[in-house]
Amino acid sequence: MQRMGERIHIHLISDSTGETLESVARASLARFEGVEAVKHFWPLVRTTGHLDRVLEDVSEHPGLVVFTLATGAVRDRLEQRCAALGLPAVSAIDPVVAGLSIILGKAATARPGRQHRLDEAYFARVEAINYTMAHDDGQGEENWNEADILLVGVSRTSKTPTSIYLANRGFKTANYPLVPGRKPPPELFTATRPFIVGLTTTPQRLVEVRRNRLLSLAQAPETDYVDSERIKKEVLEARRLFADRGWPVIDVTRKAIEETAAAVIRLMNRAEEE
């Protein structure tokens, strides 16, 4: 048995995009403190040949296997191999599907990835993702009025990952980094369509995040970029800008990306209701 504080491997195996598994794993791991999880992500597994390649990694890195597999042969093979390896294999949605089957009085289909059918919502989400990737980090300011959401904040306040998460929810999202000594483009103040939100965090947290970022890039960890006094000034100036423009502000300190995105959506919905 794995003990708290140990590293564990979790294999997420899906016959579709795997978004469901990612959400389930994240929510479940949040219930356990002190656990370092190494996630192995395997989307679009629809043949036994593909599964066999996945199982090689499962055998080399034994751990929990969580799956959403609709195809009988692939699922059967996975369950048999996990049983032989002595590893738990858990279906992420079987209990819900079984409950629906009882209520509806009919069996579920075995069509993989049916929830991601190419409908209008799917294409809208693809468009949102394409827009967001093209308008990351201050790019394409001339098109900001096409955005649903525009995130503004100093460096390392989770603007990009939050934008991508929102795009996956179907929102065209642009973001702009506030840089000391660089004047924002006029489009930031003239855009009328996007819902603009300021992201902030504590100076102490910003020092930690930026220093870790520099270390991950093998760069010197002591520069103006992580100077505490400079960062305090950056955060203060950003907050002053948000207040002057009347933009709502979200403090992302210790917040997960999903929490920040949910807060943005709540603020936007509230503003539309007013």
- pLDDT score recorded for residue 89: 92
Q: Do domains 7-114 and 120-273 have the same CATH topology?
A: yes
Sign of CA dihedral 138, 139, 145, 148: negative
Q: CATH number for 7-114: choose from 3.30.1330.60, 3.20.20.140, 2.60.40.1180, 3.40.50.2300.
A: 3.40.50.2300
Rounded distance, CA 133 to CA 17, Å?
Answer: 19
The annotated binding site for ADP is made up of 153-160
- pLDDT score recorded for residue 113: 54
Q: Which amino acid is at 70?
A: A
103 CB burial (10 A radius; 0-12, 13-18, 19+): exposed
Residue 99: partners with Cβ closer than 8 Å, 6 or more residues away: none
Q: Tell me, which fold does domain 120-273 have in CATH?
A: Rossmann fold (3.40.50)
Using pLDDT thresholds of 50, 70 and 90, give the confidence band for residue 2.
Answer: very low
Q: What are phi and psi of 169, to 5 degrees?
A: -90, 0
Using pLDDT thresholds of 50, 70 and 90, give the confidence band for residue 176.
Answer: very high
Q: Which amino acid is at 19?
A: E
Using pLDDT thresholds of 50, 70 and 90, give the confidence band for residue 215.
Answer: confident
Q: Are 253 and 202 in contact (CB under 8 A)?
A: yes
The annotated binding site is made up of 153-160
Domain boundaries, the chain: 7-114, 120-273
Rounded distance, CA 150 to CA 159, Å?
Answer: 9
Rounded distance, CA 54 to CA 215, Å?
Answer: 32
The mean pLDDT value of the chain amounts to 88
Alpha carbon 1 to chain centroid, angstroms: 30
Most confident option among 16-20, 113-117, 257-261? 257-261
CA-CA-CA-CA torsion for 120, 122, 126, 131, nearest 10 degrees?
50
Rounded distance, CA 234 to CA 228, Å?
Answer: 10
Alpha carbon 116 to chain centroid, angstroms: 18
Rounded distance, CA 169 to CA 71, Å?
Answer: 27
What residue spans of the chain are helical by DSSP H?
19-29, 48-60, 72-85, 94-104, 120-134, 159-168, 187-190, 203-216, 228-245, 257-273
Using pLDDT thresholds of 50, 70 and 90, give the confidence band for residue 41.
Answer: confident
- pLDDT score recorded for residue 1: 45
Question: Would you give the end-to-end CA distance of the chain in angstroms?
Answer: 54
Please give the residue that has the higher pLDDT: either 119 or 157. Answer: 157
pTM for this structure?
0.60
